[in-house]
Amino acid sequence: MTKLLILLTFFSSCFSSETKKEMRLQESDKVLVVYLSRTNNTKALAEIIHQEVGGDLVPLELENPYPENYRAIVKQVAEENETGFLPPLKTKVDMKKYETIFIGFPTWGMQLPPPLKSFLTENNLEGKTVIPFNTNAGYGVGSSFDTIEILCPKSKILEGFSIKGGKERDGIFLAIKGENEKEAKVAIKSWLSKIKLGVVD
């Protein structure tokens, strides 16, 4: 009787585990991780999140890329923020496929970068779950998370994630590597668990 109980428990556990994995695979088909990254810090976060939740990983690209020079891009972004200009995107996404959208970006001028405003304006996210994640130079998210709420009034917006990345102005580019990357992975797993979107094994 004891052996039978052990066997039943074992098979039940295996079935439960496989069923959960299958469910995760099915759900991951409806997940999009889209990100904007200049110095690859946000890209590093996006890749970690993608490893955890699956789905599609899509970099946000512009029809007319920003200049490489730091001062030039700062000036251009400031002008775009002031005038409300939305830079046209090269990246096109069929949003009908997705129910959960992770949106990653760096803080630029303490605001949401103009390309993210373009993405959220171009795409209908009504009824979808939106989860922002962010890298910054140590000054925080600014008004970026608030702007996402304004641009996605009919979406379910979950608690966002933010972490210190590089500091291009000071010549510090990719900072999320080595030990920092390991710490970021731990922090992201904790965050995903908190918002109930971690890996189901």
Strand partners, 111: 108
pLDDT score, position 197: 81
Question: Rounded to 5, what percent of the chain is helix, strand, coil?
Answer: 45, 20, 35
- The amino acid present at 146, given as its one-letter code, is D
Secondary structure letter of residue 144 according to DSSP: H
Nearest to 102 by CA among 153, 56, 40, 163: 56
pTM of the predicted model as reported, rounded to 2 decimal places: 0.86
Q: Which residue has the higher pLDDT, 27 or 58?
A: 58
CATH of domain 28-194: 3.40.50.360
The predicted model gives 53-75 an average pLDDT of 97
Q: Which residue has the higher pLDDT, 145 or 26?
A: 145
Share of the chain above pLDDT 70, in %: 85
Angle at 71 between CA 66 and CA 74, to 5 degrees: 60
pLDDT at 53 exceeding the cut of 60: yes
The predicted model gives 91-104 an average pLDDT of 96
| pLDDT tens digit sequence for 146-198 | 999 999 999 999 999 999 999 999 999 999 999 999 999 999 999 999 998 86
Among 16-20, 57-61, 76-80, 116-120, the least confident range: 16-20
pLDDT score, position 28: 80
| pLDDT tens digit sequence for 27-44 | 788 999 999 999 999 999
Could you give the CA distance from residue 43 to residue 41 in angstroms, rounded to a whole number? 5
pLDDT at 200 exceeding the cut of 90: no
The predicted model gives 88-107 an average pLDDT of 97
Q: Which residue has the higher pLDDT, 20 or 173?
A: 173
pLDDT score, position 11: 39
